[in-house]
Structure 1
């Protein structure tokens, strides 16, 4: 029996976006073997060829920007303005890594004694296996694939089922040589087969799946990186511009329905900031027009269940909390206060337009609260005082710290990753990605007849 992968529009679940056959484990391994056969030619084609291919790919994505934005809006429910921004970011990432093939790949060193040539050189691992989520269906596949391709790896991409159409169309537009980049639609079976056979693994997704990926890859002895979400905090001090902070927090909570691993889910108000921030944030969330639907019925049910549980446990519902009477998996941007200690909303990532307002007596308590999570990905700090901002940044455990900016912003050329259980392995993006997708080799060339 043929197993198929389907993807539906979360704003209109009757709209079937794509239905394709899943290749299964056998088909996934076959795709990896084809990629391995193609890798030598892709590496030996040289810097100019790889750079030109990535530049052409950027041009193609840019030329089809509106088509791709509309597809992302339809397939994963991303508001059109955010979808357009993601396409622009995808183009920028391709252009950035199109220059990487020309970068130095090693260094020359002096010999300890006598004549000779000692140098290091970074070389591609072989086939890179990428497992990507649905929330950034264009940018995340490219920010993983582009550095891998730039340094000479071939790529096999296994996208989330909910983002299948975006991945397939993106691969068509990139138009790389045969088997240099291939897409295997599917689910757990295809993902497990991918991790069992590739030479380097990059994963973004849930903690449970990420831990399984890490175990398999490390047992095989292949490099692996895993991004597994975050329970992100925003610290607002009394001297902050409260209106500006509220607007930024509303975007970080409700933008794309909170379905970003860097979204804010805990707002920590310090001292006298609590009352003015409460009012400003409720008002800002009510005006959050670009929330969009959550990805599916199960996600909405999990969110509404958590809200109900919190309120029954004594929490105060300050904003939202309802599911509008309309087609699609929508839920209002929601803010809760006085959530009971130990409630899952304070310990787990729920991936929706939902945040908890938490008071703190001072900055010390705020930092302790922000750090009290195993998912330390991103934290934002809102203050007018530079000394306070720098002191907080030095003490926060998160992998990314943003001052007077939403937690959900990411610069594609800087290292991306978290601390504790949020991430495993090397950072993504920028130079860190180029290092991850290569291994250093030390070469010693001595004169013929040398006794050493």
Structure 2
């Protein structure tokens, strides 16, 4: 299988290509075009030329295109799920769930597209009328990660198209195939040629740097590491490009003394093991009240040890491989470091030999604050548990991080839980709930976890400029 760039509605081949590997086997499954800076700029020419006409398309027409795309994605659910599983490694059940989740952004923004916000006000001095409207910001650069290759693409693309913006999508080189297939589906659904282009490349810094330096890109949306996000924000400064950043996380999962432990363990399995832990929202630090820490640890270890590990395309698999060998080596290093500082392995703890990049589902207890896994994003099937003595202490520990994406809190007292949530320095908080992602909700963090929001009513606003008109009256 060989895939090219998508520029101006045409598939463009390149002299250079790179391989996409199946992480369950290490074997190549496709060759993908490796774009040069010149080809990236050709994509920018395309979206810039298409921008005025697309911005002028009535919002109802844009909405109908996105609704057709929603129906088409669900109609090809199994096809997308198998492709996601093959290039990313997640079990088919999770890949199907990603398809459903990703499609929801198409439905949501098909509805939001037809409801542009505006205001008519009378000036306080009575001398004029104030009209406030929103208009498309212009050509966008959308950079998506490898861990949710469909959902992260739909979340950005649907909002941009609904707003009337054109866009270049640069998918992660580990998982470009799903994004390419989705872009082709959008063309079939009626998105005009040139409105959405896909550029695949191993030279992300060179290509994206040239696009941002050109001056025609007006909006950047990036999901990835905080380190890369900081560099991109700096590059946006030269031409005052509006950045949206969904960056790293270090999510605390707090279990208070009066929590329903069975429910908390169910939540822990979701918050930790969704996508094999390879998610920015994954629970990173399990802070458990000392009075229930041993029982919680035993229950969680039992549940983790019972998970079936195997290639994602195998129907019995519950845990697939991590994305690559570097990710697996990082997990080994995090576990070894925690153990060296006194943590105890309750289950798992090491890589699984054989083809593919598999790692045992792992639970450690007695993880100290100085351990690397306490401050670094784990991004894998490893759960470290740290006891606390009172809820105020747990909040202080939870907030002691540069990140602020999501926190989870399990408590038997809703009033106390709400008060505690207000003290947590995170953009999202799940109370007795471990899945916060929802197309209808504003997704995003504070501090070093990002800028802006995706999803919800708020998500489209990052793709719109405000315009105020003063009318003499």
TM category, shorter: over 0.9
Query: Which residue pairs with 1:55 in the alignment?
Result: 67
Query: Which residue pairs with 1:445 in the alignment?
Result: 471
| Contact 2:410-2:432 within 8 A present in 1 as well | yes
* 1:201-280 to 2 correspondences below 5 Å: 201-280=220-299
1:356 to 375, 381, 384: 384
Query: Which residue pairs with 2:417 in the alignment?
Result: 389
CA distance in 2: counterparts of 1:49 and 1:327, whole angstroms: 49
Query: Which residue pairs with 2:429 in the alignment?
Result: 401
Query: Which residue pairs with 1:109 in the alignment?
Result: 121
| Contact 2:290-2:388 within 8 A present in 1 as well | yes
Runs of 4+ deviating beyond 6 Å: none
2:176 to 132, 154, 164: 164
CA distance in 2: counterparts of 1:261 and 1:247, whole angstroms: 19
Query: Which residue pairs with 2:197 in the alignment?
Result: 182
Query: Which residue pairs with 2:459 in the alignment?
Result: 433
CA distance in 2: counterparts of 1:293 and 1:389, whole angstroms: 35
SS in structure 2 at match of 1:327: coil
SS in structure 1 at match of 2:284: strand
| Contact 2:406-2:429 within 8 A present in 1 as well | yes
How many angstroms does 1:409 deviate by? Answer: 3.3
Q: Deviations over 1:256-290 (max 9, x none)?
A: 21001000111111131111111111112112332
CA distance in 2: counterparts of 1:158 and 1:266, whole angstroms: 31
SS in structure 1 at match of 2:367: coil
Query: Which residue pairs with 2:324 in the alignment?
Result: 296
How many angstroms does 1:322 deviate by? Answer: 2.0
Q: Work out the number of aligned pairs and report it.
A: 444
Query: Which residue pairs with 1:306 in the alignment?
Result: 334
Query: Which residue pairs with 2:313 in the alignment?
Result: none
Q: TM-score, normalised by structure 1?
A: 0.95
SS in structure 2 at match of 1:324: coil
| Contact 2:129-2:470 within 8 A present in 1 as well | yes
CA distance in 2: counterparts of 1:340 and 1:270, whole angstroms: 15
How many angstroms does 1:7 deviate by? Answer: 1.2
2:132 to 104, 120, 127: 120
CA distance in 1: counterparts of 2:192 and 2:58, whole angstroms: 14
Q: Deviations over 1:93-128 (max 9, x none)?
A: 101111222213311111455675430111111101
2:47 to 31, 35, 43: 35
Q: Deviations over 1:7-55 (max 9, x none)?
A: 11111111x2221222211111110121011011111121122111111
1:129 to 124, 127, 141: 141
CA distance in 1: counterparts of 2:128 and 2:404, whole angstroms: 48
Segments of structure 1 that go 5 or more residues without pairing to the other structure are: 448-452
* 1:134-145 to 2 correspondences below 5 Å: 134-145=146-157
2:26 to 13, 23, 39: 13
Q: TM-score, normalised by structure 2?
A: 0.90
How many angstroms does 1:362 deviate by? Answer: 0.6
Query: Which residue pairs with 1:450 in the alignment?
Result: none
